[in-house]
Amino acid sequence: MNSLTKLAVTFGTVAVTGVLAAAPATATPGHTGAPYGQSSSRGVVFVQNDDLAGNTIVAYDRTSSGGLAQAGSYRTGGVGGVLSGSVVDHLASQGSLTYDRSSGSLYAVNAGSNTLTSFRVSGDRLARRQVVPTGGRFPVSVAAHGNLVFVLNARDGGSISGYLRVGARLLPVPVWHRELHLNTSAPGHADEFTSTPGQIGFTPDGHTLLVSTKNGGNTLEAFPIGLFGPSAHPVVTSLPGKVPFGFSFDASGHLVLSEAGTNSVATFAVSRSGRAAALDSATTGQAATCWIATIGNKVYASNAGSANLSRYTTSYSGTLTSHGVTATDPGTVDAAASSDGRYLYAQTGAQGIVDAYRVQADGALTRTGSVTVPNAVGAEGIVAL
């Protein structure tokens, strides 16, 4: 057990009882689908529907032709939410559904009930382990690395809260909570969805936690992880007018960031101290460029206002090269690549459709089908395995 883990256990002792008292991992109430263990080996996609009446994760198997076939649905035990002003992107975020391969866990935010749900993943089957409070209002993004899990809360200026994963359980660590003090608009204001923070995520080495702040700060905030958890004072990279939104990392470890204010994709080198040095930037020429997915050095940016994906490649030095656009259904939002990099799935919010594509060797996309996710208009949150 490392020093950070020991400290977390000490600081979180008060919370242990509540965490360990949560229901054991069993078939999720509201689950529909085949028995556990009878899953496809071709590939699995999980999609969150952010339903206000009961947030649900819908599981799909990839078919032999590359399409998707529904395999089951699983209640999170929480409810979805809608940020004011949003239409096709009710959470206005990236990373609201996250898979942690090291523990076989799927994490889902419940924006309307201020909770985080943990599932055990068995092929295309889920078993709900826990539902824990997020320590803030309207959670929109979750990140995991090793035994650390952090969630991003969007309202009231934004905040992050941390958990220690002990075995299969999440232990809240109150001293890891950080207020972001962003200029977020209140519910009911049409610009709320552009003012809230967009994503939380770890750098590939796990040493730094990043938060994109969109128009509420126009910054990228980096929290180096130290002996006592995330730094109390983030390293701030100012990006005036850029509206930094979604991000991922390429094969060289460069940060690839969408900038919705200028409809651009930008690359950065993030140092261990959290400083982000700009490398390159490219304007997509599209509308509402907000989400990023990467496969090695291939980059796909979702353009919600143009109903398409912009395709780029990055060089070893972080230089971006454009390769045109690929059409999707209306309201392109979150996207996720399969673990083998052979398929890309784009979530579209106008009608709640997920489009499936086969990824060619050069990164070009060939559409293989689409499915309508139940009760998922405006939803975000997709994971592909």
- 15-55 pLDDT per residue, tens: 433 333 333 343 344 544 444 333 445 899 999 999 999 99
Please give the average per-residue pLDDT across 238-263, as a whole number: 99
Q: Which of 58, 43, 91, 49 is nearest to 246 (CA)?
A: 91
Cβ count within 10 A of residue 35: 8
Nearest to residue 170, comparing CAs of 18, 54, 11, 46?
18
At residue 36, the pLDDT reads 38
Whether residue 100 contacts residue 144, with contact meaning beta carbons closer than 8 Å, is answered with yes
Average pLDDT over residues 226-246: 97
Residue 170 banded pLDDT, cuts 50, 70, 90: very high
**Lowest-confidence pick of 37-41, 74-78, 185-189, 334-338:** 37-41
Q: Does some domain include residue 38?
A: no
In this structure, which amino acid lies at residue 185?
Answer: S
pLDDT at residue 150 above 90? yes
35 assigned to some structural domain: no
Spatial CA neighbour of 107 closest among 97, 94, 95: 97
Q: What's the one-letter identity of residue 37?
A: G
Q: Where are the beta strands (DSSP E) in 18-114?
A: 26-27, 32-33, 44-48, 56-62, 68-75, 97-100, 105-110
* pLDDT value for 23: 35
Alpha-carbon torsion (349, 132, 186, 291), positive or negative: negative
Asked whether residue 228 is domain-assigned, the answer is yes
Say what the pLDDT of residue 67 is: 94
Span 70-105, pLDDT tens digits = 999 999 999 999 999 999 999 999 999 999 999 999
Q: Is residue 193 part of a domain?
A: yes
Q: Does the residue 33 lie in any domain? A: no
The set of long-range contacts for 175-181, using a CB threshold of 8 Å and a minimum separation of 24, is 175/11, 175/228, 175/229, 176/8, 176/150, 176/229, 176/230, 177/135, 177/136, 178/223, 178/230, 178/232, 178/234, 180/211, 180/213, 180/217, 180/221, 181/157
Number of domains observed in the structure of the chain? 1
pTM, to two decimals: 0.91
Q: Both ends of the chain: CA-CA distance in Å? A: 29
Q: Looking at the domain assignment, is residue 371 inside a domain?
A: yes
Side chain identity, residue 72: G
Q: Which residue has the tokens 């090695």?
A: 296
Cα–Cα distance for residue pair 44/138, rounded to 1 Å: 28
Residue range of the domain that includes 21: 3-28+45-384
Q: What percentage of the chain reaches a pLDDT higher than 70?
A: 89
What distances in angstroms separate CA 274 from CA 29, 205, 237, 247, 269, one per listed residue?
42, 12, 9, 15, 9
Question: Across the strands, what pairs with 280?
Answer: 267
Average pLDDT (189-215) is: 98
Q: Give strand pairing partners of 258.
A: 265
Q: Fill in the DSSP letter of residue 214.
A: G
Q: Is residue 150 part of a domain?
A: yes
Whichever domain contains 14, its CATH number is 2.130.10.10
Residue 141 inside a domain? The answer is yes
